[in-house]
Amino acid sequence: MLIGRKADIAPSEITPRAVWLDRRRFLGAAGGLGAGLILGGEAGAAPLQAAASPLSTGEPKTPKEDVTSYNNFYEFGTGKSDPKANAGSLTTSPWSIRIDGLVNKPGDYALEDILKGVSLEERIYRMRCVEGWSMVIPWIGFPLSEIVRRAEPQGSARYLRFETLVRPAEMSGQRSILPILDWPYVEGLRMDEAMHPLTILATGLYGETLPNQNGAPVRLVVPWKYGFKGVKSIVRISFVEAEPRTSWMTQSPREYGFYANVNPAVDHPRWSQKTERRIGEGGIFVKRRETLPFNGYADQVAGLYSGMDLRTFF
């Protein structure tokens, strides 16, 4: 097992007792199978009880049907509807995550064991995709900082490197004759980004188990960055000293940088990033919104990049 929680967690991050008791009842109701349902097990979606987070936006949520049917998950195809059509083949239970690299507590940890030590919250976040569209999604998850603390990173660990599952038999996009990407899908965060309270590992959305097409059973959510940073179906988290070379940096370094902070002043080479289309708000002819720096989270995260040239470190 990973080590326990530190005692210096802010009161706002602790699940209210009533919600905690509801979650305990849910886990026990299925005679030990509740954790499997949270992880996206084959038994199907089940209601998740989670604390409301003060970090949530008050904006209207994107309809669930849009959130679960309009996705980027190239392991299942490049079309927006491909993940929902093809991801049903993915087996998500049992599931484990390898923690390795510059840590004092490396190992392969069952996801249900990780979840036993965390408090789930509902975080309603604005999410911005590099292609010019956005959503407001009610995620269920827990702070990534929980994993970082328990792994006991060594002083030389400056970055986290994430890997997605490689399972071509179940992930049709990985069987392509002409590979879309060099699998596994790799992403990374700087340590202070990983520790920020907005950064979570999500296991559900809309109060239910995370659907396969949205990255089941566990995915990264970093709401001030473009969507491709949100690595899905995570099987490995490595603590490293050097900045990881991510999948899209390898594929197209001129178009996709390591930081991927939402920045309307830095256009993609093939399209503008100054405006966005909110999915679920009237189709392709609806008036576009102005893109907000850091996706509207500048007050919380701009200080992480003080003194950096955000046109160079894009």
87-103 confidence digits (pLDDT tens): 999 999 999 999 999 99
> Confidence band (pLDDT; 50, 70, 90) for 284?
low
Q: Which amino acid is at 280?
A: G
Give the Cα separation of 83 and 215 in Å (integer).
10
- The answer to whether residue 40 scores a pLDDT higher than 70 is no
Q: Kindly list the domain boundaries of the chain, sorted by start residue.
A: 15-305
| More confident site: 23 or 158 | 158
The residues facing 98 across adjacent strands are 108, 236
Give the model's pLDDT for residue 285. Answer: 75
Q: Which of 24, 14, 13, 12 is nearest to 49 (CA)?
A: 24
Mean residue pLDDT across the chain: 87
Model pLDDT for residues 162-218, shown as the tens digit of each residue: 999 999 999 999 998 888 899 999 999 999 999 999 999 999 999 999 999 999 999
> Confidence band (pLDDT; 50, 70, 90) for 29?
very low
Beta strand 51-52 with 121-128 is parallel
Overall CATH class of domain 15-305: alpha beta
Q: Which of 93, 131, 129, 140 is nearest to 230 (CA)?
A: 129
What is the pTM for the complete model shown? 0.85
Hey, CA dihedral for 51, 72, 43, 217, is it positive or negative? negative
Give the model's pLDDT for residue 19. Answer: 36
> What's the DSSP call for residue 67?
H
User: Residue 133, Cβ neighbours under 10 Å: how many?
Assistant: 17
Helix-then-strand count for the chain, H and E: 9, 13
Give the Cα separation of 260 and 190 in Å (integer).
12
